Amino acid sequence: MSNPGDADARVVESVKDLAAYLDSGAKPAAQYSIGTEHEAFGFRAADFTPPAYEGADGIGALLRAVQARDGWAPILDHGNIIGLKGAGGASISLEPGGQFELSGGTLADLHATKAELDAHVARLRAVTPALGLGFAPLGFHPTATRAAMPWMPKGRYKIMRGYMPKVGTRGLDMMLRTCTVQVNLDFTSEADMVAKMRVGAALQPLATALFANSPFYEGKPNGLLSNRANVWTDTDNARSGIPAVIFEDGFGFEAYASWLLDVPMYFVYRDGGYHDVAGASFRDFMAGRLAGLEGERATIGDFADHSTTAFPDVRLKKYIETRGADSGRPEMMLAQSALWTGLFYDAAALAAAQALIKTWRHADILALRADVPVSGINTPFGKGSLRDLAKEVVAIAAQGLKARARGNAAGADESLYLAPLQEIANGAPTQAEHWLARYHGAWNGDITRIFTEAAF
């Protein structure tokens, strides 16, 4: 989620302006960077309940503690601290139910990503004990009911809270009870963007299967491996999923911008506040015909905000976000970034991935997406299962990372971060399967054990 105030005030005259804005993100390959965003659920150490925003053990107090420790600048919404800005473009923000999110800086390699993640974990370990809090990165909250989850005081969330139940049955669950991890990567040109968007979208069901980490619902197994992914099947299908436009002839910046214009709006940010325009048309906004804001013209900043309210599994901004994975343990967060970096940032690896998906139909990709929340890495695919596909894809990513030849202090290249995925591809359990085995075995059905075992 974006924080208030994209300052680009240029008025939008046409779809071509929006396409040009997206195109302006193109970079030479030598300037490629990696940005990782990941979320975790807070819990009270005493009873494993989710903390509210208010109070001595609340999320607001946690933000103030981090601010005092690290000197990060506060992000405010009507006087409430709702996030922090750090160095190098990194920030901490809050999802609607208090999920704590690090939006990482733009970093040169995965070794820097690991250092950033290690620093974030150390930050939480330093400040949370005094507050009686812990944080567990899981895809769906394993115990809390929807009613038990708190709401964070961000203006846009109030608008979404009212609108979501009108367009799906699981939107409030998405807001309150899910956590994800995503990686943000660059493109050099429109053609390069198209190739990466298509590879990313086609392989999102595989990513969902590899990173599945939400097999519980309100204290019991839910019959799924990724309940987070299942939630997205009935959240708001006008703005989520794997849009067909990505695979259509002529796809490019203008086609994606046009798709975004047909995604209903949530809000307009003006004068320090959010105006509720949920369900309205951005095309009307561009023409100055937005009800309640007649005569007000849409800006590039408004479009940038609007783009954050579309939730496809792969999202285009001035960079590409891959979004189909459950949050999980730190080494899996790094593996998510490693997978897509390896596939996207080496020309030979990207070409191999393109060849792999060349004959796939959009309908088949959607069918996989529907199946993986239930059967995960064991979902049938071709003559085998997604586990077989994982072996091919992870091998391509490994070659891509080796070709990048970015060594750490010990001389090891970035492919080392793919180790958890290589293990799963070779038969090891996914995170969800691991937790189910713990639930039925050592935990003896005590689901609260997951908080301490999964915690940072």
Sign of CA dihedral 296, 81, 165, 310: positive
Name the residue among 380, 359, 384, 357 with its Cα closest to residue 368.
380
> 122 vs 118, 177, 204, 242, CA distance in Å?
6, 24, 30, 36
Half-sphere exposure of 328 (CA within 13 A, CB side): 31
Which of 82, 156, 135, 151 is CA-nearest to residue 330? 135
| Sheet strands (E) in 201-319 | 216-217, 220-221, 240-241, 267-270, 273-276, 311-312, 314-316
Q: Pick from 9, 2, 13, 5: which is nearest to 285 by CA?
A: 13
Q: Which CATH class is domain 15-454?
A: alpha beta
Separation CA 442–CA 311 (nearest Å): 38
Per the confidence metrics, is the pTM higher than 0.85? Answer: yes
Domain boundaries, the chain: 15-454
Q: Which residue has the tokens 């309640």?
A: 292
pLDDT in tens, 101-143: 999 999 999 999 999 999 999 999 999 999 999 999 999 999 9
The tokens for 38 are 């990941």
pLDDT of residue 7: 64
The pLDDT, as a whole number, for residue 271 is 87
Residue 2: per-residue pLDDT: 41
CB 178 within 8 Å of CB 137: no
| Residues of the chain under the 50 pLDDT cut | 1-6
pLDDT of residue 3: 43
